[in-house]
Amino acid sequence: FNEILTHLLNELQRAPPSKSSDTNTTIKTYVQALTSICRLASQRLSEHMHEIVRITLSFIENTPSNNNSDDQQYDDELIEYCLQALETYLKRCPKETNQFVPKIVDICIIYLKYDPNFNYDGNLI
């Protein structure tokens, strides 16, 4: 268990989100793996939860879509997987994730307003 967890955390810390779909696909797989582990063995993750949440938040904050650059494309799936992971972490490890709640709520509010299927052409209501 510790070897798998160490491998996942090391790989996630090394791999910043990028425009490369291969890199982001790997990141998504690792985020989903951590989410599944948390669902099944949250008590074993509790001592690592601070680091896990911090890494997950960094992927949302540093995804190219958040850098306001026109030449970078959104990776909505990576953001969605990270938000789902945060939801699981909050449900399964509430004590360990409590300090992150204000930041997670702020991020959720931002993404509740965003619809990737809608073309915002300046006519916001």
Cα three-residue angle 99-102-104, rounded to 5 degrees: 95
**Sequential pLDDT tens for the chain (125 residues):** 889 999 999 999 987 766 666 778 889 999 999 999 999 998 998 899 999 999 999 999 887 555 444 434 457 889 999 999 999 999 999 999 999 999 999 999 888 876 666 655 655 44
User: Encoding tokens for residue 72?
Assistant: 């970078």
Q: How many structural domains are present in the chain?
A: 1
Residue 123 lies in a domain: no
Residue 8 lies in a domain: yes
Residue 117 lies in a domain: no
Residue 30 lies in a domain: yes
Residue 32 lies in a domain: yes
User: Encoding tokens for residue 37?
Assistant: 């582990």
Residue 119 lies in a domain: no
Range of the domain at 8: 2-112
- The C-alpha atoms of residue 45 and residue 38 are separated, in whole angstroms, by 7
